[in-house]
Structure 1
Amino acid sequence: MEPGTPIRCEMTKWGDRPHWRFSGILLGSDEHGDWLGFPEGTHNHRPGYEFRSDVDAVTLVPAGRWYVATFHEPGIWCDLYVDITTTPTWEGDVLRAVDLDLDVIRMSRVPAAPPPGRVAGPGEVFVDDEDEFAEHQVAFGYPAEVVQQAQASCDELVRAVRAGLPPFDGAHRRWLDELTRLTRSASS
């Protein structure tokens, strides 16, 4: 696929249960993986909930890794939201992965109202939905190797994000700039 190609993300939960679906554009690739762009106003929906994004965001899809990482422009409560997933795969212009509940989140350094129930300081990195991960292991029957790989990926990501290791060192800025360039040229 060429940069600027429209793409769709179709996430599921274990057992092919529907989860998040949204559209964006392929921005390009680098040593970290494929980068996707989602402009402000992108429609995100899952069963029982939907919203339009308040800020531009880019998502890194690393090859062969158990996560997708979304970096947000300032203006919302977090600047990084990493979903622990099965290894993402492309089927044509559709990205698919199974969301495995665990999320590594870095709170925005710029004060913004956190969602209800969230009490974390600016720039804090934490793991969310550990309770959901434990519940779903039983309810959905996650295989032991999936549980082990998801937890190992989560632990590694917490360390990398806290240390500011690549690609969590600002590498996403280039791609946010590219998203702005592409969306600006599309609207003129």
Structure 2
Amino acid sequence: MSTSDSAAAGSDGLVQVNYHKYDGSLHWNLRMHRLGEDEHGIWLGLPPNSVMRKGHDREVPIAEAHVLLFPPDAWWTALFNAAPRSTEIYCDITTPPQWPSREEVTMVDLDLDVLRKRGAPGPILVDEDEFAEHRVRYGYPDEVAEAAEASARWLMDAVARGTGPFGGAHRKWLAMVDPA
């Protein structure tokens, strides 16, 4: 990351990433380096042996380097993990990411996740039960639930076919934070 990018992303060169649940409670949160932007969106990354938190709990170590993509106006974010992590791609279905400032991005996690395990033939959709439960508990409006389900379908297809950012666009960004 260049000096000007570091200064533009905040005095310490990091961006605060805050996933919330629909009731407003803090979910996964971490600080990541702003790597840059391309036609797919804004890319943030962390080197190996970094940490994240779930809510206000203790830090959770993350052994492998990873990058996180925030596409504009999409109902998802995509995490790309370096090897040997078994999950290569992990997409959270979310409300469209909001940038209150250049130093913070926030979105609501809508439970559904699309992931692809390293070496697996295709993606899988997980947490459909949690989505159904939270849809009732938190009262997801129909348009939110429909957007989440449509995003999950789109991601299943895009990850399976390797289209868009799932065709290897993450590799150059991952190389910026992964010394391997």
TM over 0.5: yes
Runs of 4+ in structure 1 deviating by more than 6 angstroms, as ranges, are: none
For 1:97, the equivalent position in structure 2 comes to 107
**Structure 1 position 123, deviation (Å):** 4.2
* Contact 1:54–1:75, Cα closer than 8 Å, also in 2: no
Is 1:43–2:68 an aligned residue pair?
no
SS in 1 for 2:115: strand
Please say if residues 122 and 159 of structure 2, whose CA atoms lie closer than 8 Å, have aligned partners that are also in contact.
no
RMSD: 1.6
Gaps of 5+ in 1: 110-121, 182-188
Label 1:58 to 1:64 Cα distance change in 2 as closer, same or farther (>3 A): same
| Conserved 8 A contact 1:27-1:36 | yes
Matches within 5 A, 1:135-150: 135-150=133-148
**Residue 156 of structure 2 aligns to a residue in which SS?**
helix
What's 1:65 paired with?
74
1:7 paired with 2:9, answer no
Structure 2: runs of 5+ lacking an equivalent: 7-12
TM-score normalised by L of structure 1:
0.85
Tell me by how many angstroms 1:49 deviates: 6.2
Residues 1:23 and 2:59 are matched in the alignment:
no
TM-score (ref. length: structure 2): 0.89
Aligned to 1:125: 123
Picking from 62, 65, 78, the partner of 1:53 is 62
Question: Deviations for 1:49-69, whole angstroms, at most 9, x for unmatched residues?
Answer: 641111000011000001110
Q: Which amino acid aligns with 1:171?
A: A
User: Are 1:108 and 2:107 matched, yes or no?
Assistant: no
| CA deviation after TM superposition for structure 1 residue 180, in Å | 3.9
Identity %: 38
> For the Cα contact (< 8 Å) 1:40–1:52, is it kept in 2?
no
Aligned length: 169
